[in-house]
Amino acid sequence: MGKNGAAPSQAHVVGASLPRIDGYAKVTGAAIFADDIALPRMLFGKLLRSPHAHARILSIDYERALRHPGVVAVAVGGDLPARYGILPSAQDETVFAIDKVRYVGEPVAGIVAEDELAAQQAAALIEVRYETLPSVMSIDEALLEVDGSGEKIHPESRKANNVHKEVHLTFGDLDAGFAAAERIFDDEYFFEGNTHAALEEHSAIASFGADGKLTLWSSTQTPHYLHRVAASVLDLPASRIRIIAPPVGGGFGGKTEPVAHELAAAHFSRKTGRPVKFTLSREEVFYTHRGRHPVRIHLQTGIRSDGSIAACRLQTWLDGGGYGSYGVATTYYTGALLPVTYKMGAYAFDGCRVYTNKPPCGPKRGHGTTQPRYAFESQLDEIANALGLDAGAYRAAIAIDPYSRTINHLRVTSCGMREALSAVAERTDYSEKHGKLAPGRGIGLAASAYLCGAGLPIYWNPMPHSGAIVKVDRGGGVTVFCGTSDCGQGSQNMLAVIVAETLGIDILDVSVCAGDTDLTPVDLGSYSSRVTFMAGNAARSAALDVRERIAAAAGAELGIAPERCAFENGRVFDRKNPDRALSFVDAARATEARFGTLAGVGSYTPPADLHGDFKGSGVGPSPAYSYSACVAEVEVDFETGEVRVERIVLAHDCGRALNPRIVEGQIEGSAYMGMGEALMEESAFRNDLHRIPNLLDYKTPTILDTPRIDAIVIETKELEGPYGAKEAGEGPLNPVIPAIANAVADAIGRRIYATPITPERVLQALDGTAGPLRLRAPIAMKTT
Amino acid sequence: MLRLPAFEFQPARSVDEAVTLLGEHGDDALPVAGGTDLYANMKLGLFAPRVVVGLRSITALRSIRFDPQHGLRIGALCSLDAIVREPAVAEHYPALAQAAAMVGTPEIRNMGTIGGNLCLETRCNYFNQSAEWRKAMGYCLKRDGNLCRVALHSDTCKAINASDTAPVMHAYDARLSLVGPRGERTVNIREFYQNDGAHANVKRADEILTEIALPLPARGTRSSYRKLRLRKAFDFPLLGVAVAVATDAGGSCTQARIVLNAVGSAPLEVEAAGAILLGTHLGEEIAADAAEEVFKAGKPLENANASLLYRKRMLRVIAQRALEDVIAPLR
């Protein structure tokens, strides 16, 4: 291995567990993240945030703050009045609150100074007068009609309560389905909200150049969407804005939409003529949030005598926090992907998102599908137990078939769920253990499915979802340009793998230029597990464009038809006579001599026939779905209620694994994150405030809490994916949480209907003081 | 990100120099050893000393000496990690090694000192928060306010003593040396702490803790420390129980100390629990009776990361387990 850990070159890059091209820089600290960037004369910014959950802003006086030594400028709501939001249907935020605040921590003003401490101290000198309003802190309260003593969180809403969005979809004949059912299982669950907890706090640096153009570096997963919103909020042509996404230190969905500090940095740089940096504190990250929605779930499933699902009705209530964010999509997602795993006779979904006076919720790994998946897989466990069926075999029996359509019209292609189910069951002897372990020990199983990229963009447009340029240098170096943002998942490496494989060259001869709107074609961003699939297809297509030209030129040099040219090991050779060959460098030079500058372009647009034709059909379709299954083994301490996870075996169908080691890393990370959500993570509030906005008190597992994890890569051939690949970034998370919940139920003989499964909840379940959840208010949603 | 407020750092090379510096600057100065507690609290705006007196260069306070006649003397600047690694500690004071090993993370144990851990600022969900958070919630008795948000009618602050080593030191009957402008004084650890979260110990602002002396445990002493927490590292105790018992040649208990932490602003010795054990041949049933006394004595409040009811219930369980640790080797 060389200094940078590279293995010797080999014939095929795809399928080889080569070290990541960016791995060495990241483990040695050489990688430059957003906050590492420092520019001459740079100012530092700080946001003043609301101390009230719900209040009218009466006045803001910042004269004292402006006089504080080192302070250069202050801005408030009126300075940047344009409303924005990630979804076209939810343009409900401004950079600084105007007229009212909707959660503790909402930005009210911004300040920039010569150093960060001065900005921090001066922010405290800004005097804001508020008139407080009654706050709404729960789903129950938000569903109540607002009377004269209160005010709706968004007064312009036409609803009488704080409901943001309702969704009602029915597929098949639900009544007939339930009538045909032999048994109906009817349960309620609550999935607690939690946050991304990425290592890197958000950071943005803005600089207006002498040419009047803005460059904005930001730790964003979606440089293209930031580009659009920055143009609109700053009222600047997009052509004068360059967004650069440096390597992102973890995103998990928390950096997928433009937020205040990025736009504030740009505003202040324009105003002061100096570079401006904003780096959030950890507490501010908790307020910026956009994390997992708390969701209350009502699930009714009718089972035929053979165990098959005759009908399923899912109702979800999402606690959205103060603003829309991705919430409409999240609401649809709570219902859209449930039928992607199992065949159903009929399916109805009612979703309802409410506004509350908390930091806005949005997408976290598994976006909206994680919560109902927990409920559904918990209930399936109860069904299997009630029917006396093995949980793994039962799921395999009702599993969706490859190359079929779901009850909600989604197109399913490759599907390795049955293989994943048997892999985890066999590896753990699940069938021999379940229900038979000593008291306090338990084993649980669950399965899931996920998208390989959303089938539709966030704003409607007929353009590709991802584009790439591949350029070949005369020295044989190949650069791939693509608008992706690497949030640690390995998307840069993936682009290099695909281009190296397509051109038959060493991966170290490929450079990746990503996430720079001046240099790279648009990619919609690192969300919905779309990058390997969509950017991968775009890069492959661009590399094929180049390869065709090289084949034509090299074929002429070698005196063979272009189709006979093979590309491997840095050589272009005659497939029928491999000794007739050119080096890749010579072939590239010959091509440039013959055709001019050597670069190729490629793009990817998902097929149009992925979904049905109904309102709401745009959320859920994907060109392919990944499948996963998990078995967790736990030991429960009956006296303290502590749950110790002893082992997690997690199998994931990622299509073809482009780099198995990275896939395993994603699987392990999913097991770890899922375990935290299952057992300890909690967005907890007290007196309208986040109770513990820091990573000491907000618990995530440490390495000492993390058990042995067996990551099993299940490979299927996905015809639509680049070299057969699907996704691995989000899907493996979903089954972990219900697998642990099912293991705890097996261990203690009682089910806990809420997350996280804290020691206190375990003891309540053992005491019999915590029965199944029951909705306090009658179900208020329309049921049509 | 959060920045430290500006302050002047004055390193002291000797105890005398440290005391002089602290005396010179009075209330404007605070001492710092490992800094794992103070600097985090300063970032949150909980303390804003104009001068910080650095103790780390006082190498004389970094030794651990064991004498079979008199016991152990630990310099206050010994790192927690050094204590974990010290063979004499493992042999004669195993509960101290256990407790020190459970503090924070490896990084914190490398930087954090035993003196710092014993002087750990008391903790509370309403206190260990940023200036902005505390302003939004309303200030509390311990800092900037006049109301205890945990116990609204209390005249005293209810912040928690969360030092893992304090109850163990108490169980070992530690004596602490404090040096100030008027010279050195020695206090027994039971006089060192006071049950007031805002004034948690008797160390004066111009004094520094220099040494901890542990007498040689009586022959046949066994000890243990049990810590309830939500994860296996990087977590303060929700409850801690330190136990030290001695038995005579016939197996009869001659000495028993059971000391709790994280249920009040000072470590709490449950004397009634110790009394039950005295003179008995330690067994499971008597341990259960003692644990019952612990359950009665401990009065947690709603100011940590698990509910009051849970922590109350765990008193009995964790005490029972700590007692079983020291009883089991007898059987």
Q: pLDDT tens digits, residue range A677-699? A: 999 999 999 999 999 999 999 99
CA B155 to chain centre: 23
Mean pLDDT of B69-81: 97
pLDDT, tens digit, for every residue of A20-36? 999 999 999 999 999 99
pLDDT, tens digit, for every residue of A453-491? 999 999 999 999 999 999 999 999 999 999 999 999 999
pLDDT, tens digit, for every residue of A599-611? 999 999 999 888 8
Orientation angle between helical segments A736-748 and A759-767, nearest 10 degrees: 40
Phi, psi of A654 (to 5 degrees): -105, 20
Q: Which of residues 28-57 of A touch B (CB under 8 A)?
A: 35, 49, 51-52
Q: Is the peptide bond before A756 cis (omega within 30 degrees of 0)?
A: yes
pTM of the prediction? 0.97
- C-alpha triplet A237, A242, A248: angle, nearest 5°: 135
Nearest CA in chain A to B44: A283
Q: Considering only CB atoms, which chain A residues are within 8 Å of B125? A: 686, 691-692, 697
Q: Where are the beta strands (DSSP E) in A25-113?
A: 43-49, 55-61, 71-76, 100-101, 107-113
CA B142/CA A51 separation, integer angstroms: 20
Confidence (pLDDT) at A609: 85
B317 touches chain A (CB under 8 A): yes
> In this model, does residue A81 exceed pLDDT 60?
yes
DSSP A730-776: SGGGTTHHHHHHHHHHHHHSS---BSS--HHHHHHHHHT-------S
> In this model, does residue B19 exceed pLDDT 90?
yes
Contacts of A105 (CB under 8 A, 6+ apart): A49, A50, A283, A284, A286, A287, A288, A359, A690, A693
Confidence (pLDDT) at A92: 97
Confidence (pLDDT) at B331: 59
A769 confidence band (pLDDT: 50, 70, 90): confident
The structure tokens listed for A632 are 């967790």
Q: Considering only CB atoms, which chain A residues are within 8 Å of B306? A: 758-760
Q: Which of residues 447-486 of A touch B (CB under 8 A)?
A: none
> In this model, does residue A780 exceed pLDDT 60?
no
Contacts 24+ apart (CB under 8 A), A546-552: A546/A470, A546/A472, A546/A478, A546/A503, A546/A598, A546/A599, A546/A600, A547/A502, A547/A503, A547/A600, A549/A591, A549/A595, A549/A598, A549/A600, A550/A472, A550/A503, A550/A587, A550/A588, A550/A591, A550/A598, A552/A591, A552/A594, A552/A595
B48 touches chain A (CB under 8 A): no
Confidence (pLDDT) at A775: 55
Largest Cα–Cα separation, chain A: 86
Nearest CA in chain A to B228: A640
Of A218, A189, A213, residue with least CA distance to A201: A218
Task: Give me the domains of chain A, ranges plus CATH numbers.
Answer: 34-133+196-288 (3.90.1170.50), 295-456+612-767 (3.30.365.10), 464-604 (3.30.365.10)
A640 touches chain B (CB under 8 A): yes
Contact A533, A623 (CB under 8 A): yes
Contacts of A517 (CB under 8 A, 6+ apart): A223, A224, A227, A241, A242, A243, A244, A483
- ipTM of predicted complex: 0.96
Confidence (pLDDT) at A698: 97
Confidence (pLDDT) at B1: 77
> Is B221-330 in the same CATH topology as B59-119+160-214?
no
Q: How far is CA B30 from CA B18, B21, B36, B54, B55, in A?
A: 10, 10, 14, 9, 10
Confidence (pLDDT) at B133: 97
Q: Considering only CB atoms, which chain B residues are within 8 Å of A52? A: 136
Mean pLDDT of A339-347: 98
Orientation angle between helical segments B308-327 and B284-297, nearest 10 degrees: 150
CA B81/CA B96 separation, integer angstroms: 11
Confidence (pLDDT) at A149: 84
The structure tokens listed for B248 are 């005579």
pLDDT, tens digit, for every residue of B267-301? 999 999 999 999 999 988 999 999 999 999 999 99
A617 confidence band (pLDDT: 50, 70, 90): confident
> In this model, does residue A781 exceed pLDDT 60?
no
Q: Are strands A55-61 and A100-101 parallel, antiparallel or unpaired?
A: antiparallel
The structure tokens listed for A531 are 């990058």
Orientation angle between helical segments A260-272 and A223-234, nearest 10 degrees: 50
Confidence (pLDDT) at B311: 98
* β-bridge mates for residue A512, sequence order: A480
Q: Considering only CB atoms, which chain B residues are within 8 Å of A645? A: none
Beta carbons of A640 and B228 less than 8 Å apart? yes
Of A669, A320, A620, A288, residue with least CA distance to A487: A669
CA A171/CA A234 separation, integer angstroms: 44
* Class in CATH terms, B221-330: alpha beta
Q: Considering only CB atoms, which chain B residues are within 8 Å of A639? A: 317
Q: Where are the beta strands (DSSP E) in A100-139?
A: 100-101, 107-113, 127-132
CA A161/CA B83 separation, integer angstroms: 60
> In this model, does residue B146 exceed pLDDT 60?
yes
> In this model, does residue B330 exceed pLDDT 80?
no
Residue with tokens 């291995």: A1
* β-bridge mates for residue B240, sequence order: B227, B261
Beta carbons of A117 and B305 less than 8 Å apart? no
Q: Which of residues 279-308 of B touch A (CB under 8 A)?
A: 305-307
Confidence (pLDDT) at A5: 43
Where exactly are the structural domains of chain B?
59-119+160-214, 221-330
Nearest CA in chain B to A53: B136
> In this model, does residue A778 exceed pLDDT 80?
no
Beta carbons of B136 and A124 less than 8 Å apart? no
Contact A216, A276 (CB under 8 A): no
Of B137, B230, B309, which is closest to A680 when you measure between CB atoms? B230
Beta carbons of B1 and A281 less than 8 Å apart? yes
pLDDT, tens digit, for every residue of A105-119? 999 999 999 999 999
Beta carbons of A702 and B233 less than 8 Å apart? yes
Average pLDDT taken over every residue of chain B: 96
DSSP state of A219: -
CA A21/CA A269 separation, integer angstroms: 34
* β-bridge mates for residue A297, sequence order: A189, A316
Confidence (pLDDT) at B328: 79
Beta carbons of B132 and A699 less than 8 Å apart? no
Of A121, A283, A699, which is closest to B230 when you measure between CB atoms? A699
CA B39/CA B43 separation, integer angstroms: 6
Q: How far is CA A435 from CA A379, A397, A597, in A?
A: 16, 20, 67
> In this model, does residue A779 exceed pLDDT 60?
no
Confidence (pLDDT) at A10: 57
Average pLDDT taken over every residue of chain A: 95
B59-119+160-214: which CATH topology? 3.30.465
Q: Percent of chain B, pLDDT > 90?
A: 97
Confidence (pLDDT) at A783: 39
pLDDT, tens digit, for every residue of A277-304? 999 999 999 999 999 999 999 999 999 9
CA atoms within 13 A on the CB side of A571: 14
A770 confidence band (pLDDT: 50, 70, 90): confident
pLDDT, tens digit, for every residue of A217-274? 999 999 999 999 999 999 999 999 999 999 999 999 999 999 999 999 999 999 999 9
pLDDT, tens digit, for every residue of A378-402? 999 999 999 999 999 999 999 999 9
Of A10-19, A185-194, A405-414, A753-762, the least confident: A10-19
Q: Are strands A309-319 and A347-354 parallel, antiparallel or unpaired?
A: parallel
Confidence (pLDDT) at A610: 84
Contact B12, B179 (CB under 8 A): no
Of B6, B131, B133, which is closest to A117 when you measure between CB atoms? B6
